[in-house]
Amino acid sequence: MTAPTDTDLPAVQLCILGCRNLAGKPFRAQHGYLTCDPCADTLRADLRELARSYPSLSAAPSGGGASTGRGTPGFGSRSPARDSVIALTDRRTHSAEDGDPHSVLEVLSSWADNVREEVGLARPDEIDQRQGQLLVGWLDFTARQPWAGRLDTPLDQLRAEITSQLGLKARTVGDEAAFLATWFAHMTRQYWVADFAAEVRELLSSVRTAIGAGERRIPVGTCPTPVGVDARPCGARLRVRADEDWISCPKCRTRWPRTNWDELSGAQGVPVSDVAMLSEWLRVPAGTLRRWRSEDGWPNHGTKRRPLYERNAVLASWQRRRGGLQAG
């Protein structure tokens, strides 16, 4: 498959990811691409969050979570939450029905290999390498079992020998996600990007469920962009996820890059809240917020009996400690 040229695309190309404004009208794709910029930003953020969240599966609770499917057969009885973790981390996972979990590494590797083939970077000896990678993945899974330490041959030694003999570099979710991000402009010119985006969203949803983390989108106020003949503010509610580089209005489609967020913040005025409201807003314990207040020196805009703090200052403290809103 080759990338379509500008002459291959319709005169008015609508975003292939199916985004629509609040009135139900589809948005146009960016010229030369098959996606609009906001959808591309969201897909990039999903991919980044998937790579960042995946390591948390190793510390996922062994019970109490909801299952995203039946899991991989043949492992015996265990909690639904642990079934999901095994299915998401074991490259041998194969879904039998819609809704069953997939192996995160296997899915990303498949898409990465597709891109490598299209751009002329196909891996040599593909069949041998794929079989070797599956064996390495099985060794990684086995090494995590409590009884693995009683084996005569250390698994890490066997793994190193296989990797050396086949010339393999063990694939990781982080590496494959980074490769896909590098070729993001190529992918958003391909018609299969819609399938890729759907699978990334499905994987991310499964990982969030397995680690007990819902999607975190922080409200930042309302859109101040003048619209219509009377130039009234758009007023749509704006939210941003910790990994996103842009804030996009869902109604008028105005976008603010991270470098302009101070400008957007100024347009919101100076909203203030007490600790109880801030705790509910960010889902952070009140005691933690009081510690942040002491460490970061938030000014009190209320009274001694009921202190009020600027939401912008509180959000800045949250961002610094989560590390999710850094440039790059």
Residue 271 in tokens = 């909203």
Report whether 310 contacts 272 (CB < 8 A): yes
CB crowding 296-312: b at 16 or more within 10 Å, else e: eebeeeeeeeebbbbbb
Instruction: Please provide residue 21's backbone torsions phi and psi, each rounded to the nearest 5 degrees.
Output: -80, 180
Report whether 245 contacts 229 (CB < 8 A): no
Does 50 or 144 have the greater pLDDT score? 50
36-40, 114-118, 171-175, 206-210 — which is least confidently predicted? 206-210
Helices 80-89 & 104-119 angle (0-180, nearest 10): 20
Angle at 260 between CA 254 and CA 265, to 5 degrees: 85
Q: What is the pLDDT of residue 66?
A: 43
Residues 294, 183: Cα–Cα separation, whole Å: 44
Residues 1, 134: Cα–Cα separation, whole Å: 27
- Max Cα distance, the chain (Å): 79
| Residues with Cβ within 8 Å of residue 280, at least 6 apart in sequence | none
Q: What is the pLDDT of residues 88-130, one digit of tens each?
A: 565 455 444 445 557 888 899 999 989 988 988 766 566 666 7
**Rounded average pLDDT over 202-228:** 78
Strand partners, 14: 28
Residues 151, 149: Cα–Cα separation, whole Å: 6
Angle at 105 between CA 99 and CA 107, to 5 degrees: 50
Angle at 254 between CA 248 and CA 256, to 5 degrees: 60
Residue 267, Cβ density class (10 Å: 0-12 exposed, 13-18 middle, ≥19 buried)? middle
CA of 214: how far to CAs of 86, 125, 177, 211, in Å? 20, 40, 21, 9
Q: What is the pLDDT of residue 242?
A: 62
- Please check the confidence at residue 143 and state whether its pLDDT lies above 80: no
**Rounded average pLDDT over 244-268:** 76
Residues 47, 53: Cα–Cα separation, whole Å: 10
User: How much of the chain exceeds pLDDT 70, in percent?
Assistant: 66
Quick one: CA dihedral 52, 57, 60, 66, positive or negative?
Answer: positive
- Please check the confidence at residue 65 and state whether its pLDDT lies above 60: no
Mean pLDDT of the chain: 75
Report whether 46 contacts 204 (CB < 8 A): yes
Confidence band, pLDDT 50/70/90 cuts, at residue 269: low
Q: Could you tell me if residue 270 is left (phi over 0), alpha (psi between -120 and 50 degrees) or otherwise beta?
A: beta
Report whether 188 contacts 40 (CB < 8 A): yes
Q: What is the pLDDT of residue 178?
A: 92
